[in-house]
Amino acid sequence: MPKVSDEYTIDGLVSGDNLKSAASVRSKKYEIKTVTSDPSLLKTEYLDKGWKIQKKIKSGTKIIKEKTFGSQFENEIWNIFYKMGFEEFNSRSEKFEIARFESGVPKQIDVYARSEHTICIVECKSSETPHTSSTNRVDVRDAINDIIAMKKERMEESIFRHYYNKEGKRNTYKIIWMLALKNIEISDKDKERATNSDIYILDDSLINYYEQLAKHFGTTAKYMFLGNYMSNKKIPGEVTSVPAIKSMMGKYTFYSFVIAPEKLLRISFLSHRGNSQLTSIKTYQRIAKKNRLESIAQYIKEGGENGTGGIFPTSVVVNLSSDKLRFEPGPNKNKSSSQLGTLYLPNEYNSAWVIDGQHRLYAYSKLEEEAKTASLPVIAFENLPEAQQAKLFVDINGKQEKVENTLLLEIKANILRYSKKGNDRLEAIYSQITLDLNSDKKSLFYDKIVEANVPRNQNKNITKTMLVDELKRSRLIGAYDSKNPKDYIRGCLYVDEFDGTCQHVENIICEYYQLYLKNHVIKTQWDLGSGENGFLCTNHGIKSTLRLLTYILEYIEGSLLKEGTGQKVRDLDRNKLIAEIEPYIQPVIQYLESASPTDLSLMKKSAGESGITSTTDHFATLVNNIYPDFQPLRAQNYREKHSQENRVRNEKGRETGQSLENMIRIDVVQSLKSTFSEDLTGWWGQGVPA
């Protein structure tokens, strides 16, 4: 077939006022249409193909059929893009085609979604029941190959020709190629092939993430979506310039200016999306709450008490993190350190992180007209260091609500990971591991950690602060390097720069506690949390056993060193490392299994650092009883201290017993004397039975 001609157009696209009705059709689970009432034709053409009669009407017969699972999934993806604010779509779920430019051969497209400057082309593959990558390998591989073929045959050129004919100008849209999967796990090999071909995978987790994002932010979610896939890439169109004042705040440069909200929304973002979509959407929801967004939008639309329009005299605070920021000073006749001039904002997605004023800015996402015409005062810092961004966010927001304690962890995890200081990067790892332990449904700690603004109960009593502090204290991941503050000394559980280490440590911690839970008695204690007879799943229990894990790993590291193989703990396969750990915790498991409720209660109540240390040393001594070279000094010190405490307790017990004995003797004799008589024949002879 010949390649696409200059006059090429794409049929079946819908935009503007027609979008709402198209979305309504797409959101329905059933197809409904009116057809002939001829009985034989009705049967052969429709009823035999799964349609059912809904009702007879004057113009014919109204029939209904449930959409296929695959069709419903395509509609689900279509509607997510619609809710995110994309502006043009394929109107039909079937037989929407675009011709390849080189060959002219048409290809059916499942979802076509265009925003102002970007087009997303999505191939959809689904399974009614969850399948592994091996089961669906062929389908996934074929889908990736189809997209690669479309790219090779320059289908994007066909799209550009369509818009050239429609708009009369060459507009080279950015094309994002995607493969959406439902209930299909993609293999690492296929994932790598897709990545190398610039094909983005939308799995179940990401689909849910963007669905929640659209639900929370409405059409502004489009900019967050594009920011994730086109971060720091140029937004087509003119660079936004604004009159601005350049000045210094401490040692940091900032600009003060006024801008239309729509222009700032394009380049702004609220959260550096981490490796957990669940964590990311919670971060969004904490930073900008939906009910506040809606109430502020209503205030802007309807005005204050006098109906004069919403007024916000305070500035939105952002950090501009692009090297393409440009400021042209005007004639400065004053000797002031401030300069008046023109600021050219970076014309890139994800280049302005919103530090304060999130609700004021994102409320405009629900107000199309006001977003274009309103004036929003802004203070913009220029390339603040990562640690300073986090500190400024906390300084501004941290004292407003209790929820910010959790939010601080998310900010640290997502910003400090890029810091040039080793200590900051370690802080980001501690924070991310804690967040992952809490948000990963496979984690033993899932739904066991206290959330902000939610009262503690016996099942949720472990605190994030405790976990971060213990990870830091253990030095298992790393430690401050005084000789090189830009880096850190790697600990025995360090395996990779960030994501790899976070995942490895989360796995080790969960599998370590899984060893305890093999014992049904301790599993019951874990499930009880801080309730009666519960111990392990409390701050005290986690602290003491995490410290024991540190001792065990140090011991294993020492043993490997003695063997002279050159191998270290970090070189061990995870399964092998867990197998190495298991024997050393058996004495502790046996103790916890047989401990009385009183013993468990006393351990929980021995509050403070001294109580944690005492419990940890007790556990280390139990291990030492079986493995004599394990922590010998610590075990010896504990035994001596424990022995001394026992001697003191025994001496006090004897003294108390003797005192009680004397008190009882005196009281009994006095009672007998008052009842009978003072002489011996009376109180003794009559009072004491023969």
**Which pair of tokens denotes residue 387?**
């640690």
Going by pLDDT thresholds of 50, 70 and 90, the confidence category of residue 343 is very high
Q: Give the tens place of pLDDT for each residue, 312-331.
A: 778 999 999 777 788 999 88
3-state secondary structure 39-71: HHHHHHHCHHHCCEEEEEECCEEEEEEECCHHH
Name, in order, each residue with C-beta under 8 angstroms of 203's C-beta and a sequence gap of 6 or more.
Answer: 181, 185, 186
Going by pLDDT thresholds of 50, 70 and 90, the confidence category of residue 401 is very low
- Burial of residue 399 (CB within 10 Å: 0-12, 13-18, 19+) is exposed
φ, ψ at 663 (rounded to 5°): -60, -45
CB 677 within 8 A of CB 665: no
- Give residue 649's pLDDT: 61
| DSSP, residue by residue, 442-493 | TSTTTTTBPPTTS--BTTB-B-HHHHHHHHHHH-SSEEE-TT-TTSEEE-TT
- Give residue 337's pLDDT: 77
Partners of 481 in the β-ladder: none
Q: Give the tens place of pLDDT for each residue, 503-556.
A: 999 999 999 999 999 999 999 889 888 777 788 888 999 999 999 999 999 999
**Which pair of tokens denotes residue 36?**
């002939």
| Angle formed by the axes of helices 608-626 and 574-594, nearest 10° | 100
As a whole number, mean pLDDT of residues 452-467 equals: 76
DSSP label at 6? T
As a whole number, mean pLDDT of residues 1-27 equals: 86
Q: Could you give the CA distance from residue 347 to residue 364 in angstroms, rounded to a whole number?
A: 20
Residue 80 has pLDDT above 80, yes or no: yes
Q: Please report the sign of the dihedral spanned by the C-alpha atoms of residue 649, residue 650, residue 652, residue 656.
A: positive
Query: What residue type is assigned to position 389 of the chain?
Result: Q
CB 303 within 8 A of CB 222: no
- Give residue 107's pLDDT: 93
CB 60 within 8 A of CB 35: yes
> C-alpha angle with apex 107: 106 to 109, nearest 5 degrees?
135
Give long-range contacts, CB 8 A cutoff, 24+ apart: 6-11.
Answer: 6/161, 6/165, 7/165, 8/99, 8/158, 8/161, 8/162, 8/165, 9/162, 9/165, 9/166, 10/98, 10/158, 10/159, 10/162
Q: Give the tens place of pLDDT for each residue, 25-59.
A: 888 888 888 887 777 787 787 787 778 888 888 77
Percent of the chain with pLDDT over 70: 89
- Give residue 303's pLDDT: 64
- Burial of residue 428 (CB within 10 Å: 0-12, 13-18, 19+) is buried
Residue 403 has pLDDT above 50, yes or no: no
Average pLDDT, the chain: 84
Q: Give the tens place of pLDDT for each residue, 369-385.
A: 888 888 899 999 998 88
Residue 643 has pLDDT above 70, yes or no: no
* CA separation, residue 5 to residues 99, 145, 153, 162 (Å): 10, 25, 14, 10
As a whole number, mean pLDDT of residues 623-630 equals: 91
| DSSP, residue by residue, 379-426 | EEEES--HHHHHHHHHHHHTTT-TTHHHHHHHHHHHHGGG-SSHHHHH
- Give residue 138's pLDDT: 62
Pairing of strands 316-320, 199-202: unpaired
Percent of the chain with pLDDT over 90: 31
CB 574 within 8 A of CB 497: no
Residue 178 has pLDDT above 90, yes or no: yes
Q: Which residues of 639-666 are buried (b: 16+ CB within 10 A; e: fewer)?
A: eeeeeeeeeeeeeeeeeeeeeeeeeeee
Q: Could you give the CA distance from residue 618 to residue 548 in angstroms, rounded to a whole number?
A: 10
Q: Could you give the CA distance from residue 22 to residue 217 in angstroms, rounded to a whole number?
A: 21
Q: Could you give the CA distance from residue 262 to residue 237 in angstroms, rounded to a whole number?
A: 14
* Overall residue count recorded for the chain in this entry: 690
Q: Could you give the CA distance from residue 1 to residue 107 in angstroms, rounded to a whole number?
A: 13
Which of 312, 313, 319, 315 has its CA nearest to residue 297?
A: 312
Pairing of strands 488-490, 478-480: antiparallel
Q: Could you give the CA distance from residue 447 to residue 455 in angstroms, rounded to a whole number?
A: 13
CB 493 within 8 A of CB 553: yes
Q: Could you give the CA distance from residue 349 to residue 223 in angstroms, rounded to a whole number?
A: 7
Going by pLDDT thresholds of 50, 70 and 90, the confidence category of residue 333 is low
| Angle formed by the axes of helices 539-563 and 597-605, nearest 10° | 90
Unique residue bearing structure tokens 């024949």: 681
DSSP E strand stretches across 220-313: 241-249, 252-259, 268-269
Q: Could you give the CA distance from residue 65 to residue 48 in angstroms, rounded to a whole number?
A: 12
Q: Give the tens place of pLDDT for each residue, 595-617.
A: 888 888 888 877 788 888 889 99
Q: Give the tens place of pLDDT for each residue, 563-594.
A: 888 889 988 989 999 999 999 999 999 999 99
- Give residue 13's pLDDT: 94
CB 361 within 8 A of CB 376: yes
**Which pair of tokens denotes residue 538?**
């409390």
DSSP E strand stretches across 626-670: none
As a whole number, mean pLDDT of residues 628-657 equals: 72
- Give residue 412's pLDDT: 77
118-131 sheet: strands from edge to edge: 13-15, 88-90, 111-114, 118-131, 174-184, 199-202
> C-alpha angle with apex 314: 240 to 333, nearest 5 degrees?
60
Q: Give the tens place of pLDDT for each residue, 560-569.
A: 988 888 889 9
Query: What residue type is assigned to position 207 of the chain?
Result: I
DSSP H helices, 137-200, are 137-152, 155-167, 188-196
CB 431 within 8 A of CB 494: no
As a whole number, mean pLDDT of residues 180-197 equals: 90
Q: Could you give the CA distance from residue 434 to residue 413 in angstroms, rounded to a whole number?
A: 10
Q: Give the tens place of pLDDT for each residue, 238-292.
A: 788 999 999 998 888 999 999 999 899 888 887 644 444 545 545 554 556 777 7
Query: CB neighbours (10 Å) of residue 347?
Result: 19
Q: Give the tens place of pLDDT for each residue, 120-159.
A: 999 999 988 876 554 555 688 999 999 999 999 999 999 9
Residue 490 has pLDDT above 70, yes or no: yes
**Which pair of tokens denotes residue 634?**
């610590």
Pairing of strands 316-320, 174-184: unpaired
Choice between 621 and 223, residue whose per-residue pLDDT is larger:
621
